[in-house]
Structure 1
Amino acid sequence: MAQPAPADAHWPEPAPLDPRTAPVPAYGTASLADVLPAVATGLGIPGLATRLDLPPADRACVFLVDGLGWDVLRAHPEHAPFLTSLLPSSTGGSGQPLTSGFPSTTATSLASVGTGRVPAAHGLPGYAVLDPDSGALMNQLRWQPWTDPHAWQPYPTVFQLAQAAGVETSQVSAPHFEHTPLTKIALSGGTFLGRLSGEDRMDLAAQRLAAADRSLVYTYYADLDGNGHRYGVDSGAWRGQLAYVDRLAQRLAGQLPPRSVLYVTADHGMVDVPAGPEARFDFDEDWELSAGVRTLGGEGRARHLYAVPGAASDVHAVWREVLAEHAWVATRDEAIALGWFGPPGAGVDDRVYGRIGDVVVAMNGSAAVVATTTEPKESALIGMHGSVTAAEQLVPLLEVRT
């Protein structure tokens, strides 16, 4: 029989994850930033570079479902029979996974989709990032504090380029999104049409597709993500929403006019973060993690750390040691060079560099760095996203053609 280890036996600490081993988005070939450039190329709009090859169509609709990860979709075929039929393992399905980009979060991903540019260029590199000009932490989803949207993200959207090229362009979404700064800098161009119900959005999207010989329509649904955050992706509430999304997609597909293509995609996946200190590292309660950090940015699964002057190297070392196998911890320059925010070695726009943390943290497994005092609502979420794991990064690109 094996003898128990002596009480004073030394167990080695887990080795920190090497950021060079972190998965990186497939920018330029299979990322969210490549979808609309590929669609636009198929519509005859020149000058949008991507190596993602999508067959041309005269009419194209992109239906983006917030929080619909590739992994969780494949895990629930009984709740999404229509979407499952479009997966590559199904007869006739031609769907494929894409990478969302880093961080895998809504503001970053919608900017990547709408501009056709990577985070290093469009400049929304996280949920909440430092504005170097003001020193304030800028929440890019809620756009707080107020910042000039077009100074923050100056590039035209693909929708604007399509409309200028004579393509009838529409966005069909919830009415309250029409005038948000994120819509202005990521999704504007053509006609915005607000509808409250998912069914009304699908019906109107089909109508707008048929309204011209060449048309581009974008439509969006958010509640799958909301239920995942509140209840987790392993919940009845989330599965019910997935079944509803499946019916919406089938409803839209059934109304496509001739010479059309529908793409169903998402902005990110999601993981459930267990309760308790083994999975939730509390920045507000852990003196080691908070030491030397002037401002905590990002979100639970993807953190930007803005260090006090002279403390960046110490912050980097401590976070690597404390989180060990729970996170990939990189310096700003490492993360940029490795390709987290754009193609490896491509760098970032000058205006974007200071928005990225001195230290960038991408969580592994199901752990998160929460902040229960300063971020109480976000810290209470069950489902989270933002990191580079497959569950968060991989999103579907599912196709229906007429």
Structure 2
Amino acid sequence: MTLSLPADPSHALRLTGVVPELLSAIEGGASRFRPVQSAILFVVDGLGAHALGANAGYARFLASRLTKKSVATTVFPSTTAAALTSLLTGTDVGEHGIVGYRAREPETDRALNQLTDWGPGLLDPLTWQRSASLLTADRGYVVSRPEYAGTGFTAATMRDAGFHGERDLDARVDAAAHWARSHPGSLVYLYAPELDGAGHKHGMASDTWLATLESVDAAARRLHAAAGPDVGIALTADHGMIDVPRERHVLLAEGDPRLDGVRTIAGEPRMLHLYAEPGMTDRVRSAWAAEESRSWVMTRDDAIAAGLFGARVSPEVRDRIGDVLVAARARIAYYDDRLADSAGQKMVGQHGSLTADERTVPLLRLGAFAD
């Protein structure tokens, strides 16, 4: 089956290429970035390039640096677990194996959360995530919120890099700038999850989200001023976001024919991994055919052949991918309404699919990288 998929911007760097380019700039090799003594990778979770442009009045510093060429394309699914892993390993989803927000563990048939379900009896961060981190102990340093210290996902993606936690964003900015200035040759990963959290809870049209965008813009300006003349800063994101109002939810209730033959549902509301009962993949695919007017519906083989998980999908990763994938094209979100816990249906801002709003993110040059 030939899929009709949206084209990525031809000038956009793939998210997997960002850290290798930064390391090359530090080492004085060929790079999209000019040579620097140290570099800071500032990741603003959930900041899409389209949203930044559309809300330029609330982010004048960042928006003034946004051009058609200053963007990157994130991975599929466009979700934090998959994207941050690709960013920090430089490898595609089909190699590192973090195939979405929730995915099936083939050995147990459990659908596990790949941000939180780590540890004894769950996912092993040293084996489930299959690629080496580019944040090595000798040069990588992480500045993030303190609650992420020592988590399984941190271990899976950042391995042995040093970690410094600060709850306040300005304090994180100051710590990152200080470390980069005082440790030549270092790559500092600075993480800001606040905008993503505001979007999920309140939506991107909310006063809370806009105020958070203003604070992120102020933090970027502060970092730009504090980094010093020999420290380059690249600001990017793991994914963008769109608002999905509650009346646009598609609820999958008991007896829904779209659930016939489906053994397990994972992924997230805008990108479902559907795991079929043995021999039922074609039936599940057919049951979802009516959704093609508002979603991309494809089998695992279709998605792999289209390169959605990268040029190569490891045999160990293949069975983690759903037998059928449903990626929302329209402003909708799918929910399994049979579940007792419906808290996820309160979420406003969403992501995970293939739309430009979700997959095109800024890649801005600040500090010594600035033009």
- DSSP-derived class of the 1:151 partner: coil
For 2:332 and 2:169, the matched residues in 1 are separated by 33
For 1:119 and 1:28, the matched residues in 2 are separated by 21
- DSSP-derived class of the 2:354 partner: coil
Match of 1:122 in 2: 96
The 8 Å contact of residues 242 and 349 in structure 2, kept in 1 or not, is answered as: yes
Match of 1:30 in 2: 13
Match of 2:124 in 1: 148
The 8 Å contact of residues 36 and 114 in structure 1, kept in 2 or not, is answered as: yes
- DSSP-derived class of the 2:164 partner: strand
Fraction of identical pairs, as percent: 36
For 2:77 and 2:222, the matched residues in 1 are separated by 31
The 8 Å contact of residues 106 and 320 in structure 2, kept in 1 or not, is answered as: yes
Q: Which residue of 25, 28, 42 corresponds with 1:63?
A: 42
Match of 1:355 in 2: 320
2:308 is aligned with what amino acid? W
1:318 is aligned with what amino acid? A
- DSSP-derived class of the 1:158 partner: coil
For 1:269 and 1:124, the matched residues in 2 are separated by 18
- DSSP-derived class of the 1:361 partner: strand
Cα 1:30–1:19 change in 2 (3 A) is farther
- DSSP-derived class of the 2:174 partner: helix
The 8 Å contact of residues 28 and 36 in structure 2, kept in 1 or not, is answered as: no
Match of 1:222 in 2: 193
The 8 Å contact of residues 24 and 388 in structure 1, kept in 2 or not, is answered as: no
Please list the CA deviations of residues 108-167 of structure 1 after superposition, one character each: whole Å capped at 9, or x if unmatched: 01101111111010100111011111211111011256211111013220011xx45xxx
2:17 is aligned with what amino acid? D
For 1:125 and 1:262, the matched residues in 2 are separated by 28
Unaligned runs of 5+ in 1: 1-17, 90-94
Q: Do structure 1's residue 43 and structure 2's residue 26 form an aligned pair?
A: yes
For 1:19 and 1:125, the matched residues in 2 are separated by 22
Match of 1:238 in 2: 209
Match of 2:74 in 1: 100
Equivalences, count: 365
- DSSP-derived class of the 1:362 partner: strand
Match of 1:110 in 2: 84
Cα 1:362–1:189 change in 2 (3 A) is same
Tell me the CA shift for residue 55 of structure 1.
Answer: 2.8
Match of 1:81 in 2: 60
Match of 1:335 in 2: 303
Match of 2:366 in 1: 400
Larger mean Cα displacement after TM superposition, 378-387 or 292-301: 378-387
- DSSP-derived class of the 2:142 partner: strand
2:278 is aligned with what amino acid? P
Match of 1:6 in 2: none
TM-score (norm 1): 0.86
Cα 1:99–1:52 change in 2 (3 A) is farther
The 8 Å contact of residues 337 and 347 in structure 1, kept in 2 or not, is answered as: no
Cα 1:39–1:372 change in 2 (3 A) is same
Tell me the CA shift for residue 380 of structure 1.
Answer: 2.1
- 1:285-296 matches, within 5 Å, as 285=254, 287-296=256-265
- DSSP-derived class of the 1:87 partner: coil
- DSSP-derived class of the 1:111 partner: helix
The 8 Å contact of residues 266 and 396 in structure 1, kept in 2 or not, is answered as: yes
For 1:326 and 1:101, the matched residues in 2 are separated by 21
The 8 Å contact of residues 173 and 195 in structure 1, kept in 2 or not, is answered as: yes
Cα 1:52–1:134 change in 2 (3 A) is farther
The 8 Å contact of residues 98 and 114 in structure 2, kept in 1 or not, is answered as: yes
For 1:106 and 1:79, the matched residues in 2 are separated by 24
Q: Which residue of 107, 131, 134 corresponds with 2:108?
A: 134
1:299 is aligned with what amino acid? E
- DSSP-derived class of the 1:201 partner: helix
Please list the CA deviations of residues 313-363 of structure 1 after superposition, one character each: whole Å capped at 9, or x if unmatched: 010111122x12110011101101101111xxx330111000000001111
Cα 1:329–1:45 change in 2 (3 A) is farther
For 1:45 and 1:123, the matched residues in 2 are separated by 31
For 1:117 and 1:28, the matched residues in 2 are separated by 20
For 1:274 and 1:154, the matched residues in 2 are separated by 37
The 8 Å contact of residues 25 and 100 in structure 1, kept in 2 or not, is answered as: no
Q: Do structure 1's residue 171 and structure 2's residue 150 form an aligned pair?
A: no
The 8 Å contact of residues 172 and 204 in structure 1, kept in 2 or not, is answered as: yes
- DSSP-derived class of the 1:210 partner: helix
Cα 1:36–1:189 change in 2 (3 A) is farther
For 1:19 and 1:65, the matched residues in 2 are separated by 35
Unaligned runs of 5+ in 2: none
- DSSP-derived class of the 2:187 partner: strand
The 8 Å contact of residues 28 and 34 in structure 1, kept in 2 or not, is answered as: no
For 1:329 and 1:270, the matched residues in 2 are separated by 20
2:364 is aligned with what amino acid? L
For 2:86 and 2:122, the matched residues in 1 are separated by 21
Q: Do structure 1's residue 370 and structure 2's residue 349 form an aligned pair?
A: no
Tell me the CA shift for residue 202 of structure 1.
Answer: 0.3
Cα 1:214–1:261 change in 2 (3 A) is same
- DSSP-derived class of the 1:22 partner: coil
The 8 Å contact of residues 35 and 52 in structure 1, kept in 2 or not, is answered as: no
Match of 1:7 in 2: none
TM-score (norm 2): 0.93
- DSSP-derived class of the 1:159 partner: coil
- 1:269-280 matches, within 5 Å, as 269-276=240-247, 279-280=248-249
Tell me the CA shift for residue 284 of structure 1.
Answer: 2.8
Tell me the CA shift for residue 223 of structure 1.
Answer: 1.4
Tell me the CA shift for residue 286 of structure 1.
Answer: 5.8
- 1:180-259 matches, within 5 Å, as 180-259=151-230
